[in-house]
Structure 1
């Protein structure tokens, strides 16, 4: 019988551990073999798939392209994000749905803005040939794309390349609507990016028919006309539903360039453009050649109208003001509004003509093509605004949207801060000498004449526009710290009412930081009115649908914040008076009307300014080029000062002229016949612009006395009095 020995627990455990070790070793070996086999297979596959040199380059470029595309997408999104701040998911369309009529102080209509509810025609009632004309000309693939049309963009680029110029645009109707609703007319890559994103946004929220209707209702079609219904009434004196094919083609031709192809301005060009639109309709397959033959043989003829010169830039600015008031809830639920505007139509027309005449006559010799101007009363009321040479060609408002370097016209803010902080008085002696700033590198600004004048008073330094003195003053304002000094200047300009931020850079005291024309006028208004803060406004009163006043602007200067001490404002007035009488601004002198101000010229003569004021009005004038190209030696004391003189001379005809605060009897206003001569000189054979006149306080008192006498007079015939010679009071 076999002898079975009992195995101890320790032996059993050791045996199990040896078995486990053997299994683990075998498994790891097998796994390693399989892993090596897999690596060899991958290596073999990699060898078979290894690209050639050409393939390697393609793969590398593709990877780089994907990387840059990802980075570009992030950057594009970052640029487009601010555009959506104006877009409220529930309120955006309601805020745009305003119908505003602007009237002057006599009740005469100046212009309209917004969607005119009484004239909004349902899209299914619009003539089919008008819709087809618009689509054939502006966006043939409107019903196929998603907001942007890549194929249309490529087609436009090819057409422009063949023509060696811009003959066809790539923006879809949705993109154009996005620009009209939410963006400015600035020509920049940033705006185009925002426009594309907003086009996607509109397409996602509105049906195609609604997008097309909004576009046709709001597009600018020249002569201050917005929308196809208003265009039909203005150009052809009929309802849009009654337009013929030829008339529809002429209106559709206005979308591209409403000023260039306006039938009331250039009928041959308008008819040629209409013929192009008809050809586009055939090319798009909407009509046949036979269907357009009658329209080609009998082109449209507009109704005769008096030449209307409407303050389009000013009305755009006023409309933005109304939208802001509506958004702030200050107009209740009212959407059909009448605005009693501060705009003086006669002064507005004169300003437009004067600047255009100066550009036509002297622009070529100076190499300058654009200008802008803002005229304010001392409460901030906008009396006139010129935002560019031709509103039809460009709705970009150079008076409110263009940021340009002001040059030496910015220096008064530095001097005012120095006066405020007790650094100088107008009679303080300053020394024009080499002056430098260190900010990582050394910058030593030079004077216009490349020389230094030594000791002089602060008033003379400002009148002669010495560059070194503002740098010295800025350092003293900051107690040795230039950045701290600029901070104090920045506080002052914000207090005066600047709406746009001014960059804090070392050259800011010399006007290197960009500003707008309207901000400069607003800032100088604080000097002219004794130190009160103002904000430009167009709406003096706003009436609702039942003609009740629902908003009234506060024109009481006494209630405005005192942002600059009155003594500082009066000192600045006396100092800037010397700029006009003895300094760089002599061309801004007005016979019998005290004026003050400051010239400004930037490097390479790219920008030229004159900003000034009288006891009645403040004005800022800018001349330059849209592409920032240099002019030929144009300074602020040349065309800008001349424009100020012409326009302000007209503004003071037949009104009570006030003296500038702080000036003495030697500058007392007086009647001077030369004022009318200067006012007419800027028009260059153009007919005299009509003007609205206001009664002086003495005239108002006399009128009240006459009304009282009339009320107390006994009934019955009045005895005849022999007529004497006419007398003008």
Structure 2
């Protein structure tokens, strides 16, 4: 037997191993390639992993954490009237109304969690399962993944940063920022911030704004179905906003059911709640909610003004730039508590948009050519503005010209009480009984032979006139003489500054008549009259009382910061009011204007009871502007009427300022009871002669014009002590008259039956004109006819033709060019004209004012 056979049979030595058959070259190459590729992939994986890890670490290191400032949201600012009623909403770029945690129903929270982030309560800002799924989808689809991995916290981060880049870097940083945010905020805080911040429909941010827009409800009052409807909009507002169309409403209903199904599956609601909500029809609000109206409508003149005031005060108090103050105002969720009386504002709006009050505009469509007007009303006891209107017609844009607060026009004679009479009374240089001779005077140094100023009310001079009657009749000459000879320019300027009319360079005589280089507006004029209605105290006019931030903290307190100043003594305020009441009852404001009703300065309530009022009219040169500033114990109102360009008012238009004032004030006082202006301590009454200003004499009651006595008020210590010496008795021959038609003194030869003893006036300072006056003296100076002809005797009866010489005691007359006389004129002022501004005529600005209702060119040739 052979050896190998033994081995095979198990006997003898073991068999040797068989050698493997060598592999083919192809197999060997394949194995080598696989091994190489495996090694390369492992190496590449390590490299890529390292690179990706380093990149992620770099992304995280360069990511900024969310700061508390970033968590602040743009919020709607609210404006309230004086009674706390919301009158407007002001928004910047986003219409957002914050909802507090307690106001958001659980159904709203659960709806968002169910559809947006089912594991919101348990994750740490990133849902690991969804995040990995989104990452794999991203890799598999080479960056085109449609798998959403963002949690509510991540969506909040995206809304805060505004970063919507579809990059790995953004996703990594967003995830890290979300996890960081979860460490700083509770789940409730994150969810509340999310629901207040998200886009919930076109033009809406946050669930409260959506609740108002979709259902005209507050979010706290929403049903389960309505909560699900709002939660469904966020995915795509253009697709699911139910207010846009029937198509989007149907899409919203379908998505609402998906959300309700998820809420049921996740255990947030029961089956019966689910079924009832699905069956509930969506009653989408068709109209515009009150909130939307306030948020979207054109702001009123009052709202424009209060916003500018709040912005200015924010800049001053907090040293903010204009831009930062605007951001705070429009996006800060402020609450502005204004002084507006909504009833007063409504009345003003109705009257200024009523075409019947502007008949001149009937056939004029161009606003630039139409008649315009403005009015502002203040509560004199507080200085709070109750209403304003700044133009004719409906307001159609925000921050248009507000003539009530921003224009500058000449005030005419409405300026006299604050520039002349109020200051002069307060200084004691005049009383209401002081007599000024209202005769031609020559106060224009460049034209020394031309009378200036001229009276325009009646076209004549009144002669001896008390301050009371000068105010009532609005005589320019008296105001100019008081300003020039008794008050003085600097005193006038000082008193104007007390009422916030700062005119240090207006020291020329036309200022006394309301002819200014820099004009005024109804706000300035109404505020300047407040002291007359408020015991002499000036109050800064304010349009708001306080402003709070969105948390209720007071950031501006206007009432506490309001400026006050004692402009006049209480007695001065009362005396000025007393005189301006005469303007209303029997002066320039007592006119009917041919409008078919009583004096336009008189106010009545709805029961027809007269409310005591006082005020002053104003007319500028060529009747370009008409004013009335009038007041009751309740309100001060200033009204202006005119055109944007120089156009003389004619016919009934000259009464439109008064008429508008009357229309508004009658309605404003409709439910108020009459009450009188309070009388202060420190006043005395005296019977005086109205042509001398002194105590009544024996001849005052015999004045040919009627009884010349009246009871007058005086501040104690300023009352007259001398008896009238203006009224004198004289015997005249009634058949013999001078060239002016006055009877001449009787001589010894006049027949007794022609001799009569009559009362005449004797001027304290004789007057002769410097130049011939237009017409006869008696026609130009009203009291000339009653003046005693002291040196002219009857020439008709001469005793046989011989000349009769007058007695030696006749008074000589002498010319006078600035007659000032009467009680109270105890303190001389600056008797010379101050320096005039260049380009002026004797200190008269080109737009200088005249008096009321008459063109001054009709008076003097």
> TM-score normalised to the size of structure 1?
0.49
Larger relative helix fraction: 1
* Rg (Cα) greater in structure: 2
> TM-score normalised to the size of structure 2?
0.42
